[in-house]
Amino acid sequence: MIINHLLKYSILIIFIFHYTFAKEYKGNCKEIKTIIDKVEYNELTDCVNDNNGNVVSLDIYYNKEIETDDIKKILSYNTLTKFTLTYERSYYYSDKHDGFKLILNLISNLTNLEELHIIYSVYDESQTSYYNKFFTIDKNILKNYKNLKKLGLKFFQISQDNIDELSTLKNFKELELDTCILEDLNFESFENIEILSVTDGKIYNNMKTSEYTNFDKEYIKQFKNLKKLILNGEPYDLTSTTTKTTTTTKKSSATSTNGRCGKDYGHCPSGQCCSKYNHCGTSDDHCLASKGCQSEFGKCTSTSTTTKTTTTTKKSSATSTNGRCGKDYGHCPSGQCCSKYNHCGTSDDHCLASKGCQSEFGKCTSTSTTTKKTTTTTKKSSATSTNGRCGKDYGHCPSGQCCSKYNHCGTSDDHCLASKGCQSEFGKCTSTSTTTKTTTTTKKSSATSTNGRCGKDYGHCPSGQCCSKYNHCGTSDDHCLASKGCQSEFGKCTSTSTTTKTTTTTKKSSATSTNGRCGKDYGHCPSGQCCSKYNHCGTSDDHCLASKGCQSEFGKCTSTSTTTKKTTTTTKKSSATSTNGRCGKDYGHCPSGQCCSKYNHCGTSDDHCLASKGCQSEFGKCTSTSTTTKTTTTTKKSSATSTNGRCGKDYGKCPSGQCCSKYNHCGTSDDHCLASKGCQSEFGKCK
């Protein structure tokens, strides 16, 4: 009997192994796999042929750019009825998304396509942030998906145009939205939708101030023929006349099981803290009240929690093969660590427990792992980069510079240390710190920046400030430490922390902010205003409530809502006139003759002034017809010179010697100056 069972299970295991790891494609699927395999890291996740060898179902993992002709070939099989695309790339390749846009257009040629799923996972990964970008589908794309019955989207920003176009599709019945940004939408045109699934859906009333309401009963009512609704993975009772939503500042009764926390997720497991960005953890970034810890969803502390930790290698049952790790990817290969951003590696950023190393998916340490010496190498590509970027798409760095793992040239440890991902084939790399002997220096460019930016395109910082590796002026360690990439040619730099003596105080900084920003790098807010956890001055609950991270050391804070009194809508302008180009209830009205756009910016274009585009009449003038009916073409420069680094019809021309890019920024790089890249000659020089 035992032998029979063993034989039976052995046959089952062999079958599963063969199907999973040794699957051979035939017909159209074989042709598609040949194309996908041309580019490393891209993967044909699944492909199904019909009995005649014609592809009917396709699932692709897209990580590196595919040639245009190959994309066209893949989407030329008009027998496809189901297509799934996972598009996962780093934000640093955001200028290389032509392939993704092409795919969205070519899908309209698949006249038999009935089911479409797209995950747009484009993330910003740096030492200071890791978050997903959201993609906006252009107008007139979705209306061409004529026979579509089911659509699933993740990490998209959905517009009213998208909704209106989907409502015209006669066969369209089912929509799935996962972690999507929804504008203030009207769904009443969706008379054909029968099944709707919304996960982490938020209706943003104001994209700039992140004011939103949850996708709830009021929006559900707009779906006339809805038969099935799933909210956050749970079936919703469509016969219910009330939604179960309560406002409370106490901890949610539900304990989060996915590492997220806050009013939309619940409180953290016992012993963990809820960061200001709604993630559970035990590091200082999660637990320190000074860093925005949310006490209503977990514990918080006033002092550092980074005590000694031990090394552990507890692992998941699956081993990752694509350099990613965590609950969705598996554990790292032997000897590697899983960073808090779900990447495998061996640097301190991956392995130190104090930096969020995840011991359940790889090894972790409590001390630095970068003690061993490695050799210095300078193997380079044949082309030398001229724009500060490096790598296979840009070439190698100039002599003496290093190419960071994010494809930027420089000489800091973040660029040069092999343990931090330095790419030796595109510049030199070292195994030890290049900042052991650093002195404070204030070598500066000939021009002084006036807009808080610094570097070769902006000039040096004002006296006493430092220029960070991301080209921002300031005085924090992130700006001033040479080990963090401080640029000494554009401001002062130091080799030791500038924050060795810090005290917690609720007194305001000695300087008052004049640009609407606040915090240690900007100063405190004007009298009567509050400093939000995101360093903006204002008077709304998002700025002033202590439970939402209000910073009392840089402005006033309250424990109760400041918006209890009813307010009436009026078209009279605020008593204060904005001086920083912003407008609205938190900034004041625009200068005379200017309009306040729906995104709270002053200007005179149709986007600012047309009432049909959301112009706010209470903070500036508005019109019902276009203000650009009579325009003349001229190449003469504007009479006004910009002083804030912006250019164009709303800002003026660039300072002498600078170029105005197609995105209305002044600078001297090829992206600013080349006519082939959209340089605007009427607002600066072009070449």
In a domain, 659, yes or no: yes
C-beta separation of 543 from 550 below 8 A: yes
Residue 184 in domain: yes
> Among the three residues 237, 260, 295, which one is the final residue of a domain in this structure?
237
Q: d(Cα 103, Cα 74) in Å, to the nearest integer?
A: 10
Domain C-terminal end among 484, 499, 514: 499
Phi-psi region of 526 (alpha: psi -120 to 50; beta: other; left: phi over 0): beta
pLDDT at position 160 is 87
Judge contact between 333 and 319, C-beta under 8 A: yes
Residue where the block lists tokens 């982490």: 200
CA 500 to chain centre: 32
pLDDT of residue 176: 92
Q: What pLDDT score does 173 carry?
A: 93
Q: Are 673 and 679 in contact (CB under 8 A)?
A: yes
What span, in angstroms and rounded, lies between the C-alpha atoms of 517 and 512?
A: 10
Q: What is the amino acid identity at position 103?
A: I
Q: Which residues of the chain are under the pLDDT cut of 70?
A: 1-23, 90-97, 123-132, 183-184, 201-218, 239-253, 305-317, 368-382, 434-446, 498-510, 562-575, 627-639
Q: Is 459 inside any structural domain?
A: yes
Instruction: Work out how many domains the chain is built from and give that number.
Output: 3
Distances (CA, A) of 621 to 436, 501, 590, 617: 58, 50, 8, 5
Residue type at 69 in one-letter notation: D
Q: Which two tokens stand for residue 374?
A: 């490695």
pLDDT score, position 377: 41
d(CA 660, CA 681): 7
Q: What is the distance between the alpha carbons of residues 344 and 323, in angstroms, rounded to a whole number?
A: 5
Last residue within a domain, chosen from 192, 210, 237: 237
Question: Residue 631 half-sphere exposure, CB side, CA atoms within 13 Å?
Answer: 10
Decide if 395 is inside a domain: no
Task: Take residue 248 and report the two structure tokens written for it.
Answer: 């409370």
Host domain of residue 655 = 643-687
Amino acid sitting at position 517: R
| Amino acid 457: pLDDT | 80
For the full predicted model, state whether its pTM sits above 0.75. Answer: no
How many CB atoms sit inside 10 A of residue 235's CB? 10
**Burial status of residue 396 (CB atoms within 10 A of its CB: 0-12, 13-18, 19 or more):** buried
Q: Which DSSP helix (H) or strand (E) runs through 71?
A: helix 68-74
Alpha helix ranges (H) inside 620-683: 670-673
Q: Quote the tokens at residue 454.
A: 């610094």
Residue 114 placed within a domain: no
Phi and psi at 463, nearest 5°, equal: -55, 130
For residues 48-68, b (16+ Cβ closer than 10 Å) or e, as one string? ebeeeeebbbbbbbbbebbee
Q: Which residue type is seen at 278?
A: N
Residue 521 placed within a domain: no
DSSP H helix total and E strand total for the chain? 13, 29
- Distance, CA of 203 to CA of 132 (rounded, Å): 18
Q: How far is CA 271 from CA 277, 279, 282, 615, 678, in A?
A: 18, 14, 8, 48, 54
pLDDT for the residue numbered 210: 53
Q: For residue 196, give both structure tokens.
A: 């709707």
Query: Is residue 453 within 8 Å of 498, Cβ to Cβ?
Result: no
Distance, CA of 303 to CA of 504 (rounded, Å): 10
68 domain residue, yes or no: no
E-strand stretches of 200-354: 202-206, 211-214, 228-231, 234-235, 273-274, 280-281, 337-338, 344-345
Q: Residue 83 has what pLDDT?
A: 95
Q: Output b/e per residue, 78-92; b: 16+ Cβ within 10 A.
A: ebbbbbbbbbbbbbb
Distance of CA 18 to the CA centre of its chain: 39
Tokens coding 301: 């502390």
CA 266 – CA 641 distance, rounded (Å): 51
The SS3 of residue 653 is strand
The span from the CA of 669 to the CA of 392, in Å, is 20
Tokens at residue 60, please? 């692709």
Rounded distance, CA 646 to CA 309, Å? 48
Q: Tell me whether residue 226 is in a domain.
A: yes
